[in-house]
Structure 1
Amino acid sequence: MSVRLKLTLSYAGFLMLAGALLLAAVWVFLLRYVPEVIHTPGMFVPNQSDLLRAFAPAATAVLIFLLMFGLLGGWILAGSMLAPLTRITNATRRAAEGSLSHRIELEGRRDEFRELADAFDTMLTRLEAHIAEQQRFAANASHELRTPLAISRTLLDVARNDPKRDTGELVERLHAVNARAIDLTEALLMLSRADQRSFTRGYVDLSLVAEEATETLLPLAERRGISLEASGDITPTIGSQALLLQMTTNLVHNAIVHNLPTQGAIWVSTSVHPGSVMLTVENTGKKLSPQLVPTLTEPFQRGTQRVRDDHAGVGLGLAIVKSITQAHDGTLTITPRPDGGLRITVELPAAPLTDRAGYSWPRSSPTR
């Protein structure tokens, strides 16, 4: 049976039960004042038998009326109550068929059905945006992976058509193309790992992670004439040491690569706040428009004013940072600096004090 029919039968059954109880109460009340047998010569006084003969047909008619009224009224009332559910069901079917642009947009006062419809609309909006992002990502990834493969095929065709050609230069170019393809594949795997949250969580001090990342990339910054400074407090959080190190390394590397040609600067800092810890990376550079900044975390998106060279990566740096941050239940904030460059802040939940009891946190150097 459908839910509407079940509700209709429930309404009608409840109404019949209430009517039967009411009639039974009236019958009991009448029996108290009507004797079973009355002996009055010359006068007709109704007794309980007469009352039963008069009351039974009327009670039966009332019960039949209540049954018909309950079925009809219950059917109409159930249909009215389930109308929003029908709209939600139709929207679900359309979503299952692949149409994610449809929205329920249920009108009326806020009740359980309205909250369910609004939650479903929100889910459809996020799902549509996620699928669109995945489609763009798949198209961009295919394009990025096809480029080194096409270059490799061209180089091999040249070598096959000219056997006497010097293979030294060919091998070097193939090695560079292959290395870039490997870097891109590893970045895609890192992004997938972060999105799936398939990692083991443990205690991590962001200040030590920032220290390790800056020390690793300090030679690259020095070759470019960029000053790199790091400071901060002990910032305990819970997460993956490897992923958080990759996140910080990407931020510092991005700050080095997209900086001023000369006399650039980078500031890396960590701080503790109530319930959260922060990692901030600032760098000098060219001025970026506020409209461009939100697109920087899209996979394979690069600012049009940003210089690309051999160290520019594969276009997944900030996309990986965003995925790792979200996988750690954190927030990523990117704002352009008035004088040029970016200020990127990662805010993560702090490690609970109860879980930190007895854990000895190593101290990092305050400045470098």
Structure 2
Amino acid sequence: MADPIRMPRRRGTSARWKLTLSYAAVVVVSAVGLLTAVALYLLRYVPEVVRTESFVPNRSDLIRAFIPAAIIMLLVLLAIGLLGGWMIAGRMLAPLDRIGRAAQLAAQGSLSHRVALEGRRDEFRDLADVFDSMLEQLEAHIAEQQRFAANASHELRTPLAISQTMLEVARNAPERDVDALIDRLHEVNTRAIELTEALLMLSRAERRMFTREPLELSLLAEESAETLLPLAERRGVTIDVSGDTANVLGSPALMQQLITNLVHNAIVHNLRADGTVTVRTHALPEAVALVVENTGQVLPAHRVAILAEPFQRGSERTRDDDHGGVGLGLAIVHHIAQAHDGSLVLTARSGGGLNATVWLPHPLPGPLA
């Protein structure tokens, strides 16, 4: 069955006209009340006398003289009310017109325009500031999503292009070592799978599609350190885990991934020999903190500022058997922390290396989400 045709809604009376008519109505009603009160108050003192040869105005004469003047005055006040109301309403609604034009531009895809309402703070100024803040956040979010999509497309295209090239070379060179080709294809395919899983993990954290449970960060840190201990030993890195009992509410899988990413990042981007990774948990009065520090090269501040962005890799970051990184490790940590109402703070250590601190709120009493 075909959908019924929806007729376009007719545009009603504008808000400016409604305000104008309201102002004019208030003026006219007030004038009618005032003139009525004056007439009733004055006329009651004027008697209805009998006509004599000398003209003495009585109540009827005053009424006949008063009514036309009152009607003329009402018409004048009506005109003043309409004109004044139209001007006042236009002045009051001007900020809404500016906000409406900005919203129309935003609907057309232009998010760089701002209302930038001047003047003293009032309800309209607050609304304009909130709208500008929303546009700023939308512009930043869309720019980030576009940059992320472009980077993800590039990163996914790379292993596919490598696989295609290797297959074309194998087709043109039948004597090529098949086992080596299979091993190389397996490595490239593994990288593509890791990238896809990282993207899915990042999307899951951003959408907050998980159930919160009571967790103890120090236990999760010990589990991650134990899992990554063979990697640390191969790279000559020592892991030290200690700290307070730190209880939080969150997803066990996501929080385990957060800690694992931080420890893994601290191991593979460390000194080539005698490196250290320190993992600490702190239960502070205002929040819970997870701190992961490592030794390594000195990092410039401008580089540290973008390490948590997707597909950002620090200097001297190379791919080897121990490091299948795709540039999403710290980005995933950042989004998991945000999904748990926390934050990730990265700071370069003065002696070299990185300090990564995840701040999380204390668990609240009551039923869990």
Same fold (TM over 0.5): yes
Q: Report the CA distance between 1:307 and its aligned residue.
A: 4.6
2:6 alignment partner in structure 1:
none
Question: How far apart in 2 are the matches of 1:241 and 1:43?
Answer: 108
Are 1:329 and 2:360 an aligned pair?
Answer: no
Q: Distance in 2 between matches of 1:247 and 1:68?
A: 70
Which amino acid is 1:80 matched to?
R
Contact 1:330-1:348 within 8 A present in 2 as well: yes
Aligned equivalent of 1:263: 274
Contact 1:257 1:312 in 2 (8 A): no
The answer for the alignment partner of 1:28 in structure 2 is 40
Q: Distance in 1 between matches of 2:285 and 2:56?
A: 88
Match of 2:22 in 1: 10
Structure 2 residue 122 is matched with structure 1 residue 111 = yes
Q: Is the 8 A contact 2:215 2:248 kept in 1?
A: yes
The one-letter amino acid of 2:112's match is S
Q: TM-score, normalised by structure 2?
A: 0.92
Q: Match of 2:293?
A: 282
2:88 matched residue in structure 1:
77
The offset of 1:327, in angstroms, is 1.1
Determine helix, strand or coil for the equivalent of 2:301: coil
Equivalences for residues 158-237 of structure 1 within 5 A? 158-237=169-248
Partners in 2 of 1:291 and 1:152 — Cα distance? 35
Task: After TM superposition, give the deviation of residue 176 of structure 1 in Å.
Answer: 0.7
Within 1, Cα distance between the matches of 2:286 and 2:56?
87
Deviations 1:82-110 (A, max 9, x none): 11111111111111111111112111111
SS at match of 1:228: strand
Gaps of 5+ in 2: 1-12
TM-score under structure 1 length normalisation:
0.92
Please tell me the residue identity of whatever aligns with 2:355. R
Does residue 157 of structure 2 align to residue 138 of structure 1? no
Deviates more, 1:197-206 or 1:137-146: 197-206
> Once superposed, which parts of structure 1, at least 4 consecutive aligned residues long, lie more than 6 Å away?
none
Unaligned runs of 5+ in 1: 357-368
Q: How many residues align?
A: 355
Aligned position for 1:360 = none
* Contact 2:163–2:185, Cα closer than 8 Å, also in 1: yes
> What letter matches 2:362 in structure 1?
A
Determine helix, strand or coil for the equivalent of 2:297.
coil
Q: Which amino acid aligns with 1:240?
A: S
The equivalent residue for 2:109 is: 98
> Hey, what's the Cα distance between the residues in 1 that align with 2:33 and 2:250?
64
Deviation at 1:40, TM superposition (A): 8.1
Q: Name the SS for the 1:29 alignment partner.
A: helix
TM-superposed CA distance for 1:292, in Å, is 0.8
Question: SS of the counterpart of 1:207?
Answer: helix
Whether 2:252 is the aligned partner of 1:241: answer yes
Q: 2:31 aligns with which of 19, 22, 27?
A: 19
In the alignment, the residues of structure 2 paired with residue 184 and residue 248 of structure 1 have an alpha-carbon distance, to the nearest angstrom, of 18
